[in-house]
Structure 1
């Protein structure tokens, strides 16, 4: 789904400087518990969060919900009954939020029904009559190990790319996508300055002394690493609640382009977490620590010379 290229983010002139900076971006992370099996009730709950965000004193530009926020994660064969087409989801949200949310952006995870199959997807849209769907990302790396059986019930997405939205150039990842370092690399190489990770990560493992489940310690390292290596903001929105004896602890978080955590959400409860980001900080971070520019310069050469590229390479020195 291609969209017209836009100037990323509103600009403002710094007084007397003759230069332009982007205005700070307010984001609301919706750590959400769906009403499993009741799509209408869950849509109403999502719409309520969006309406309250739209009416807040510091109105966010973007609300980010978790993976499978519409239905809950562990549906197995029930995904076919609960899946919904992306345009249907957009219309259902628009009908519920009313004109108060006009111009507000939303990212939300859902099981998507499409002519080609069922997908674990994330929709990004601008609400209101002047808005529309800007991007749908389909989860590329399907978790199929331990308690996870995604490959049995959904199809894998074809790729990862960034897209232009009113706040800036953004990329979406879904849970397991973030466990593969190449996902953040592909998003950043396509120009993303913000990576939204929508996740439904069951609590598992113990982290001695951390005070949180082990999976959240792992998420902290993964998201911080993506942010620092690529000089991007990373927003992680986590599902919360219990499904069939499996608990989703929450613990949503945000990271700046240096990899520093900006906030951490509560455990075991719903929350709407406001975070303000300075998009110009991404450019500053990339200048101060040029890990990403090194990657940009080397990427094509590394691909061409990688095993399996089909290119015959000279033997390394000494062989």
Structure 2
């Protein structure tokens, strides 16, 4: 792994904290997909509750990337709740937007920063969504261009409501995990705690995802060591999940403080061999640049065919899940099984 380096910031966002990905195996020849994908992981500290200001900061990020010597990335990945900050709680209705509105405003920001005729690029961004009055913690995948397109909206399924978290009081749960085609591979989105549940990553992989994007807002916990315990936890979760399923996992973390709670960025790319390709510092804004080869997915799955083994046993495993659901009283914890 090539470590990131600290740098001066421009408009509150570091442009040069970046690292190139490294690969331990030769890539296969390109097939029908674009095999090489350049990424920018934006470690972002939004202004709490100020949607307009945060769109302006996103425009500044696009402008910084436009002038980056590495060229503009294919996919720009922002954290969870990038338009408002995470801990808005009862104020979520005031900052939530329809996904189509977010797409339009992102596209205006891209045009302002890069010119109306800029080359198309894709964006992953977390935000609070208003879908006809129903509120969600969501993330979209969109292509920004002269003809912008909303590719997918993922709504967070696992809403933490414990400790410092209170999500389920203020937003509704998502109901599905989907993989979908993009210009840069077949991908899925999981938001923060979604990715902590092994079954969620498994569903994404079974549905064909080569890349799982994880917008996150993770408050620092376990501060007795040189790095917060939650940073180590996320690294371990991603390493195991990536290796088991032979997928890339791309994590973009919120930073900054909200109500005395500090978020640990540590934005990272985990390769499909469970290899850490790049990781940002856990404190401070950063833009991390890296490039991946989708050919590594097939190589990893051939070396460790765990996903294929799972597919071979899927009907039996599904039957076990069905039996567990059928035998469990509604709302009962595991200890209350008959």
- Shared fold (TM-score, shorter chain, > 0.5): yes
Q: CA 1:18–1:40 in structure 2 vs 1: closer, same or farther (change >3 Å)? A: closer
Residue 212 of structure 2: SS of its match in structure 1? strand
Shift of 1:79: 0.2
Question: What pairs up with 1:273-312 in 2 under 5 angstroms?
Answer: 273-306=288-321, 307-308=323-324
Q: CA 1:146–1:100 in structure 2 vs 1: closer, same or farther (change >3 Å)? A: farther
Q: Residues of 1 paired with 2:59 and 2:30: CA distance? A: 41
Residue 40 of structure 2: SS of its match in structure 1? strand
Residue 254 of structure 1: SS of its match in structure 2? strand
Greater relative CO, 1 or 2 (CA 8 Å, sep 6+): 2
Residue 196 of structure 1: SS of its match in structure 2? strand
Shift of 1:249: 2.0
Find the counterpart in structure 2 of residue 193 from structure 1: 210
Find the counterpart in structure 1 of residue 125 from structure 2: 108
**TM-score, normalising length: structure 2:** 0.83
Find the counterpart in structure 2 of residue 251 from structure 1: 266
Residue 59 of structure 2: SS of its match in structure 1? helix
Which one of 83, 92, 114 corresponds to residue 96 of structure 2? 83
Shift of 1:55: 4.0
Shift of 1:72: 0.4
Q: Residues of 1 paired with 2:313 and 2:325: CA distance? A: 15
C-alpha contact 2:33 2:185 (8 A) present in aligned 1: no
Q: CA 1:19–1:302 in structure 2 vs 1: closer, same or farther (change >3 Å)? A: closer
Q: For 1:157-214, what per-residue CA distance to the aligned partner results, in whole angstroms no more than 9, with x for missing partners?
A: 0110111111010100000101100010000001000000110000011364xx2100
Q: Residues of 2 paired with 1:32 and 1:194: CA distance? A: 21
Pair 1:212 & 2:227 matched: yes
Aligned length: 293
Q: Name stretches of at least 5 consecutive residues in structure 2 with no aligned partner.
A: 1-28, 328-338
C-alpha contact 1:54 1:104 (8 A) present in aligned 2: no
C-alpha contact 1:50 1:101 (8 A) present in aligned 2: no
Pair 1:202 & 2:214 matched: no
Q: CA 1:152–1:18 in structure 2 vs 1: closer, same or farther (change >3 Å)? A: closer
Find the counterpart in structure 1 of residue 81 from structure 2: 68
C-alpha contact 2:89 2:166 (8 A) present in aligned 1: yes
Q: Residues of 2 paired with 1:184 and 1:78: CA distance? A: 31
Residue 186 of structure 2: SS of its match in structure 1? strand
Q: Runs in 1 of length 4+ with deviation above 4 angstroms?
A: 17-22
Shift of 1:101: 4.4
Find the counterpart in structure 2 of residue 165 from structure 1: 182
Shift of 1:21: 7.6
Q: CA 1:35–1:310 in structure 2 vs 1: closer, same or farther (change >3 Å)? A: closer
Find the counterpart in structure 2 of residue 30 from structure 1: 42
Residue 81 of structure 1: SS of its match in structure 2? helix
**TM-score, normalising length: structure 1:** 0.88
Shift of 1:268: 1.6
Residue 324 of structure 2: SS of its match in structure 1? coil
Which one of 159, 164, 172 corresponds to residue 155 of structure 1? 172
Find the counterpart in structure 2 of residue 139 from structure 1: 156
Q: For 1:52-97, what per-residue CA distance to the aligned partner results, in whole angstroms no more than 9, with x for missing partners?
A: 3244333210000000011000001000001011011111111122
Shift of 1:305: 3.5
Which deviates more from structure 2 when the two are superposed, residues 45-54 or residues 135-144?
Answer: 45-54
C-alpha contact 1:51 1:100 (8 A) present in aligned 2: no
Q: CA 1:185–1:101 in structure 2 vs 1: closer, same or farther (change >3 Å)? A: farther
Find the counterpart in structure 2 of residue 8 from structure 1: none
C-alpha contact 1:203 1:248 (8 A) present in aligned 2: yes
